[in-house]
Chain A
Amino acid sequence: MGFGDYPAEYDPKVHGPYDPARFYGKADTPLAQVKLGELGGWLARRNKHPQAIAGAISRAYWRWQHKYVQPKRSGIAPFLQVVTASMVFFYVINSQKLSRHKNYKYH
């Protein structure tokens, strides 16, 4: 699988048009249905190759796109989500500096 190629498991004859939000490999138990005891095994089964991680992020992005941005009559939700997410992100990366503005010494 080179740069810009489809995933190796994707077959247009079987899967139809390519859906960037879909995982074409063999499906594992969804994380929400994994029991706590099996969590270690579940994590061990994950593909931790950087390419796979990038693919997972890309799929999540497209899932978000399909759900909130691409619908015909999407509202203001995706904009507010981006704003909120960036607020949280920038707060976290700046938290070291912002912590100097604390008003109380003891909590």
Chain B
Amino acid sequence: MLSRAAILSGQNSRALVAYASRASSATASGQDSSKGPLWQRPVRQEPGKVRMGFIPDEWFTFFYKKTGVTGPYTFGFTLSTYLISKEIYVMEHEFYNGLSLAIMWIAGIKLLGPKLAKALDKEIDNYEAEWNESRVQDKETLQNAIEDEKKNQWRMEGQTMLVQAKRENVALQLEAAYRERLLEAYTQVKKRLDYQVEKQNIERRIAQKNLVDWVVRKVKASITPDQEKQNIDNCIATLGNLIPKV
């Protein structure tokens, strides 16, 4: 199948591209041709939603069906009231220590948190971009190669058009040469025929002249002095007759 014509027409390259895309689309997960994927590759999760910085959101939504939106807060408040009032949770000196620590923590998180998060996110993005760089570049190179290939195929189409135009041009030249030669042949033949006509005319003229000369000579030779005299007399008589009678 690797004929020159096929390469020129770009058929093979298109088939190769199709092969390549099929090869890359084969998924990374386990594939059973008849039953589809057996397993999915685990993906990194999004961070779980939390309230107040650390309490899972599910612990709040768990209450919603029975108690509505305020339920979890009511539960937390009543539970802490119970624990404190029964002194199951004893408010000794460590509690106030913890309270001040909590205030410092909250202030620190609120003030520095967003900036720190921004900086760390940027670092993560940079790190990921670094790992991805070669892949992205490879992809870009391949994309460029595909673009070039397409452009070359387009140029190839242009070549066929050019060849067509050249063929037409050659045909025109051939036609012009043919007509030129036709004209040449015509003029040559006309020239020869003209020559013949002219020759015949000249021959006839000379022959006529010779004939006339010959006849004149013969006639002149046949005239006798008597006849000549008689003729002159006749002429004089005629001239005499021409003189108007007075």
Partners in one complex: yes
Q: With a CB–CB cut-off of 8 A, which chain B residues contact A68?
A: 47-48, 50
Cβ-defined contact, B117 with A71, below 8 A: no
Cβ-defined contact, A80 with B87, below 8 A: no
- In the bound complex, how far is the Cα of B56 from the Cα of A84, in angstroms? 13
Cβ-defined contact, A77 with B86, below 8 A: no
Q: Report which of A19, A81, A91 forms a contact with B54, defined as CB distance below 8 A.
A: A81
**Interface contacts beyond A14-B39, A75-B53: sample of 11 additional A-B pairs, CB < 8 Å, sorted by A:** A14-B30, A68-B50, A71-B45, A71-B46, A71-B47, A72-B124, A73-B47, A73-B121, A76-B53, A103-B87, A107-B86
Number of B interface residues at 8 Å Cβ cutoff, please give it.
Answer: 31
Distance of B234 from chain A, by nearest CB (Å): 150
Q: Which residue of A lies closest to B46 (CB)?
A: A71
Q: With a CB–CB cut-off of 8 A, which chain B residues contact A70?
A: 44-45
Distance of B3 from chain A, by nearest CB (Å): 44
Tell me if B42 counts as interface (CB < 8 A to partner A).
Answer: yes
Q: Which residues of chain B from 3 to 41 have any CB-CB distance to chain A below 8 Å in the complex?
A: 29-30, 38-41
Q: With a CB–CB cut-off of 8 A, which chain A residues contact B124?
A: 72-73
Q: With a CB–CB cut-off of 8 A, which chain A residues contact B45?
A: 66-67, 70-71
Distance of B228 from chain A, by nearest CB (Å): 149
Given contacts A68-B48, A107-B85, contact A84 B90 (CB under 8 A): no
Tell me if A17 counts as interface (CB < 8 A to partner B).
Answer: yes
Q: Which residues of chain A from 56 to 71 have any CB-CB distance to chain B below 8 Å in the complex?
A: 66-68, 70-71
